[in-house]
Structure 1
Amino acid sequence: MNLSDQLHRTAQVKAEKPAYYFMDKGTSYGELDASVTMFADQLHKLGISKGDHVALLIGNSPHFIIGMYAALRVGATVIPVNPIYTPDEIGFIMNNGDVKAIIALDLLVPLLEKMNPVLSTVEHMIICETGADQGGMDISQLSIYPKMKSFTQLVSSGDSQFSGPILDEEDVALILYTSGTTGKPKGAMLTHRNLYSNAKDVSDYLKINEDDRVVTTLPMFHVFCMTVALNAPLMSGGTLLIVPKFSPKEVFRLIKKYEATVFAGVPTMFNFLYQYPDVDPKELSSLRLCISGGSAMPVAILKAFEQKFNVFISEGYGLSEASPVTCFNPLDRPRKAGSIGTSIIHVENKVVDELGEEVPVGQVGELIVRGPNVMKGYYKLPEETTATLKDGWLYTGDLAKMDEEGYFFIVDRKKELIIVGGFNVYPREVEEVLFNHPDIIEAATIGVPDPNQGEVVHCFVVTKNADLSEDDIIAYCAEHLAKYKVPKQIEFLSELPKNTTGKILRRSLKPQLQK
């Protein structure tokens, strides 16, 4: 079984049931499945076949759902990409990922036209119209016509009887590019089995069912949303309440109007909802469950939110390489604040020492994971794959401990990893950009606590130009990095601390600059 087949089966028995609401317009499972089938037919006619790579440069919208499920139905491998990435970041993923077709928002057309010469493998650019008429774009006027096609026109002209190829559960369904310690993203290859099993196991563990209405405001291109707030509800016959961009006001409105039952978010979102003024806590009375992930939830925020809105928050843990969920706080046993919970169904977590031997209860070691959700490997990176997957176990690089009841606690994150609003930022990635600046001699990057984002990026630089300002460097970074990766603070030093081999000692750096 795979996600696309499951959607088709659900549509056969729940054809009239709402699959999602977007901009207050409902779409049934029957309508969704028909759109997926017709778009898959058109992808097939464009020459997209089993094993080809299709990138999604789309925010939260029906376009993303239809695009992803249609690509899967035709047997293609989907590569979701953050649409706010810079040309440098997008270009690397497109070329490294051997992308044959891009499905993108019309707002990105100028960017795609500009990037076309460097997108050597891309044959088709399918543009999703976001205008009021949903079809007003005259693609014949574009400079790279006929490479560009209209999403709306393709869907409307497809064959509703199209039947895709037979898929093997070990075929690669998704490649998720995660920030790499070398400064370049790595593509985690997730199979149909990985995605289906994790969505099914999360659904079963959290008891997501056809009566649930799930607020889908996390970014769909992020695997947390994709599994927990998109695939799992659709697999269970639930209804998505799609939020194009997180807004506390809009989230509260949708919860009240549609009597939402599940909300999934990162700790930053919970903090913004908690702080939002003039909200009657009773407006969230329909919620039976809130789900938190992406980064550690401060215990103070967790308790304050639960007390104010009288709703249970289940905090969990996952990573892209595990599709992503491995743990959640269970619903049938006490929740432990500060814990990532217990292993979900069919997934095994354990804490080991440097030799791979399990450590005693309460002792700190590296968290490793095994299960049907663990990735096939990194795309075109066999050495990285071998270093991460050992004897069937995924080595997460996170330090953790387990108590006597099987609850896990993350003690420290991957070395030097910065988590900004639930998104991973590796220091080396930022430093690569800084080192390309002609006036910067040395640079080091760390994360510093932030009440809204959890952490923000803080950089230390040594420069040969005394006139170079903090604003100059931040503006330079903004040209080459996604917004959440751009430093919030720059601190100038005469030299950076190093060990005897010359390695910069990030952990000895202490921020002095405050804003």
Structure 2
Amino acid sequence: MNISDQISVTAKQHPEKTAYIFEGNETSYLELEGMINKFADSLVGLGYQKGDHLALVVGNSPHFVIGLYGALRAGIIVIPINPIYTPDEISYILQNGDVKGIVTMDMLAGKFAQISDVLEDAEHIIIAETGAGTDTGSTILSEKMKSFSKLMEEGNIHFDRPELREDDIALVLYTSGTTGKPKGAMLTHRNLYSNAKDTADYLEMDGGDKVIAALPMFHVFCLTVALNAPLMNGGTVLIVPKFSPEAVFKLAKEQQATVFAGVPTMYNYLLQTPGGHADDFQSIRLCISGGAAMPVALLKHFEQKFGVMISEGYGLSEASPVTCFNPLDRARKPGSIGTNIKNVENKVVDELGNELPPGEVGELVVRGPNVMAGYYKLPEETEAVLRDGWLHTGDMARMDDEGYFYIVDRRKDMILVGGYNVYPREVEEVLYEHPDIAEVAVVGMPDPDQGESVVTFVVTENNALKASDVITFCGERLAKYKVPAVVEFLDELPKNTTGKILRKQLRDKVAQL
């Protein structure tokens, strides 16, 4: 069984039930099933075969839902990409991911026109019409363009789907890494199906749930918890195009939503919004938090104001992503990421891989049907994290006597900005391209709104170089959340005797800013 097949089952059993609501328009499971078939049929008609790679560069919308499940139904491997990435960042993933075709929005066409040289290997650019207008900007783009809506009109509602095995790759999710370049985590149909099912079972999701999808759908947190899980159980997805507290409150109240999933930053915004009242979340039975550690004070204040429990969990792209959640049938422990979800095993080990007793700190490792097949075209990196059947997360954790896990420290040097992972090396690689920068080091600093923000320490011989110049340089090459918020100039970076940069000393400097 896979996610696509499960949607077909629901469409047969409950054809008139609402699958999703977008901007006030309801789409039934029968309608969704037909659109999935049409898009799959159109892709095959364009020459796509099982195993081809299709990039999905689309925001939260029906285009994402149809594009995702339509491609999966045809056996095509989907590579979701953050629409706010810069052309350079998108270009790397398209090339590394051996992408044959791209689905994107009309408003982003100009961004793709900037990387027309990379697009020579792509056969088609399918443009989803949002009404924002299409600026091709280049001949190669216009030559390869296909209309999403036209493909839907031409597609056959009766699609002869290929045979899919559970170990076939379904997604390649690019996740930032310490090497400075994103790595593509290969997730199978079994990975996605099992994690969606086990997460839904653990959180008691069923056909009566209406789940708010305000997290970005290209991110695996939303993909599994707020899209796959409710749809495979006959629930309804309430699609939020772009997160805003006002939009979430309005939608929750109008549609009598039952589940909200978000990162701590979202909860902070909801809590701080003057117009937010307990009545807005009166129908919500459960809030889910992940993507970053939830401050205990924020959790308690939110629950007191809105009268709804937050279940904090843990996951990573390589695990599809959920491994832990605070259970609903017994005590929730603030500050904990919870216990093992069904069919997934977590444990804390020492450097030799030996399991540690409760209370001791070590590396968190994971085993289960949700763990990825490996990194795309990176066998050595795959072997480094998949050892003896266990996925090594790189996160330091401890477990208490009742099986609740606690993250003690994040992955080494990682910065979490609004729930997004930012690795210093990735930002440093960009800054080293600046002709006036001799040395650079990036660390994080606490941020009351985003959790953390990026701080850059720069060594330069050009006294005319200003912080604004550095920020502008990064802004042209990195997604907004990766751009440094603070730039500090130093005569030299602190190092040990082997020349290794002492980030601890830099973090101490940050504390004094």
Q: TM-score, normalised by structure 1?
A: 0.97
- Alpha-carbon distance in 2 for matches of 1:309, 1:31: 35
Give the counterpart letter for 1:28 in structure 2: S
Aligned-pair identity in percent equals 65
What's the CA shift for 1:438? 0.4
Contact 2:53/2:77 (<8 A) preserved: yes
Structure 1 residues 80-229: aligned runs within 5 Å: 80-131=80-131, 144-229=141-226
Query: In the alignment, is residue 240 of structure 1 matched against residue 276 of structure 2?
Result: no
Match of 1:461 among 437, 449, 458: 458
Contact 1:55–1:78 (CA under 8 A) maintained in structure 2: yes
Per-residue deviation at 1:141? 10
How far apart in 2 are the matches of 1:138 and 1:495?
Answer: 46
Provide the C-alpha distance between the structure 1 equivalents of 2:131 and 2:138, rounded to a whole number of angstroms: 17
CA apart distance, 1:280: 2.5
Q: Distance in 1 between matches of 2:309 and 2:207?
A: 20
Query: What is the letter of the counterpart of residue 292 of structure 1?
Result: S
2:509 partner amino acid: P
Displacement of 1:108 in angstroms is: 1.1
Q: Which residue of 1 aligns with 2:480?
A: 483
TM-aligned CA deviation for residue 119 of structure 1? 2.8
Report matched runs for 1:271-282 at 5 Å. Answer: 271-282=268-279
- Counterpart position of 1:396: 393
The corresponding residue for 2:48 is 48
Cα 1:114–1:308 change in 2 (3 A) is same
RMSD, aligned CA: 1.5
Identify if the C-alpha distance between structure 1 residues 512 and 337 changes in structure 2 by more than 3 Å, giving closer, same or farther: closer
CA–CA separation in structure 1 for the residues paired with 2:290 and 2:150: 38
Residues 513 and 397 (structure 1 numbering): CA distance in 2 closer, same or farther, change over 3 Å? closer
Residues of 1 paired with 2:448 and 2:389: CA distance?
39
SS at match of 1:67: helix
Q: Which runs of 5+ in 1 are unaligned?
A: none
One-letter code aligned to 2:326 = N
Cα contact 2:87–2:115 (8 A) shared by 1? yes
2:391 matched to 1:411? no
Cα distance in 2, alignment partners of residues 108 and 406 from structure 1: 46
Q: Which amino acid aligns with 1:331?
A: L
Cα gap change, 1:15 to 1:489, in 2 (>3 Å): same
Deviating more after overlay: 212-221 vs 274-283: 274-283
Q: Secondary structure, in 3 states, of the residue corresponding to 1:490?
A: strand
Aligned match of 1:472 in 439, 464, 469?
Answer: 469
Residue 505 of structure 1 deviates from its aligned partner by 1.2
Partner of 1:311: 308
Q: Which residue of structure 2 lines up, in the alignment, with residue 503 of structure 1?
A: 500
Equivalent-residue separation in structure 2 for 1:491 and 1:58 (angstroms): 36
Residues in 2 aligned to 1:138 and 1:507: alpha-carbon distance in whole angstroms: 47
Question: Residues 354 and 140 (structure 1 numbering): CA distance in 2 closer, same or farther, change over 3 Å?
Answer: closer
State whether residues 445 and 511 of structure 2, in contact with CA within 8 Å, keep that contact through their aligned partners in structure 1: no
**3-state SS in 2 of match to 1:419:** strand
Write the distance in 1 (CA, Å) between the matches of 2:139 and 2:251: 37
CA distance in structure 2 between the aligned counterparts of 1:408 and 1:512, rounded to whole angstroms: 29
CA offset digits 1:342-373 (Å, max 9, x no partner): 00000000000000000111000000000000
Q: Distance in 1 between matches of 2:242 and 2:432?
A: 33
1:499 positional shift: 1.1
CA distance in 2, matches of 1:427, 1:138: 34
Deviation at 1:115, TM superposition (A): 1.3
* CA positional deviation for 1:282: 1.8
How far, CA to CA, are the matches of 2:342 and 2:327 in structure 1? 11
Q: How many residues align?
A: 512
In structure 2, relative to structure 1, the CA distance for the partners of 1:293 and 1:42 (3 Å cut) is same
Change (3 A) 1:140 1:157: farther
Report the residue type matching 2:32 in the other structure. L
Q: Distance in 2 between matches of 1:13 and 1:283?
A: 32
Find the aligned partners of 2:20 and 2:197 in 1 and give their Cα distance. 19
Cα distance in 2 between the residues matched to 1:420 and 1:436? 23
Deviation readout 1:21-48 (Å, 9 max, x if unpaired)? 1011111111111011001000001111
Could you tell which deviates more after superposition, 369-378 or 161-170?
161-170
Runs of 5+ in structure 2 lacking a partner? none
Name the CA shift for 1:25/1:402 in 2 (closer, same or farther; >3 Å): same
2:252 is aligned to 255
Quote the Cα distance in structure 2 between the aligned partners of 1:511 and 1:140.
46
User: Which stretch has the larger CA shift, 500-509 or 114-123?
Assistant: 114-123
Contact 2:109/2:136, CA 8 A, preserved across alignment:
no
**TM-score w.r.t. structure 2 length?**
0.98
Residue type of the alignment partner of 1:315: E
Match of 1:284 among 281, 285, 301: 281
Conserved 8 A contact 1:491-1:513: no
What is the CA–CA distance in structure 1 between the aligned matches of 2:329 and 2:298, rounded to whole Å?
23
In the TM superposition, what whole-angstrom CA distance separates every residue of 1:98-144 from its partner, at most 9, and x where no partner exists? 00000001111112223121234211100000018xxx869899653
Change (3 A) 1:335 1:513: closer
- Alignment partners' CA distance in 2, 1:30 and 1:45: 23
* In 2, Cα distance between equivalents of 1:319 and 1:213: 24
Structure 1 residues 141 and 428, CA gap change in structure 2 (3 angstroms): closer
Tell me what 1:421 maps to.
Answer: 418
Q: After superposition, what is the alpha-carbon deviation per residue over 1:163-195, rounded to whole angstroms, capped at 9, x for unaligned? A: 210001001000000001111100000000000
Counterpart Cα distance in 2 of 1:507 and 1:381: 30
The secondary structure found in structure 2 opposite 1:119 is helix
Counterpart Cα distance in 1 of 2:497 and 2:161 = 59
Match of 1:336, SS? coil
Pair 1:29 & 2:29 matched: yes
Pair 1:61-2:61 in alignment: yes
2:20 aligned with 1:20, yes or no? yes
1:369 correspondence with 2:369: no
Aligned to 1:450: 447
- For the residue of structure 1 that corresponds to 2:308, the secondary structure is coil
Q: Which moved more, 1:274-283 or 1:430-439?
A: 274-283
Distance 1:491 1:144 in 2: 41
Q: Deviations over 1:265-322 (max 9, x none)?
A: 0000000000100332122110000000000000000000000000010000000000
Cross-structure match for 2:318: 321
Tell which deviates more after alignment, 11-20 or 95-104. 11-20
Go from structure 1 to structure 2 and tell me whether the alpha carbon gap of 1:353 and 1:20 turns closer, same or farther (over 3 Å shift). Answer: same
In 2, are the aligned partners of 1:368 and 1:393 still within 8 Å (CA)? yes
* Partner residue in 2 for 1:431: 428
Call closer, same or farther: CA 1:151–1:166 in 2, change over 3 Å: same
Matched residue SS, 1:79: strand
Contact map agreement 1:174 1:189 (CA 8 A) in 2: yes
Give the aligned residue type for 1:56. Answer: L
Distance between the aligned counterparts of 1:34 and 1:61, measured in 2? 17
In the TM superposition, what whole-angstrom CA distance separates every residue of 1:75-101 from its partner, at most 9, and x where no partner exists? 010000001101111000000000000
The amino acid of 2:71's aligned partner reads A
Q: Which 10-residue stretch deviates more, 111-120 or 46-55? A: 111-120
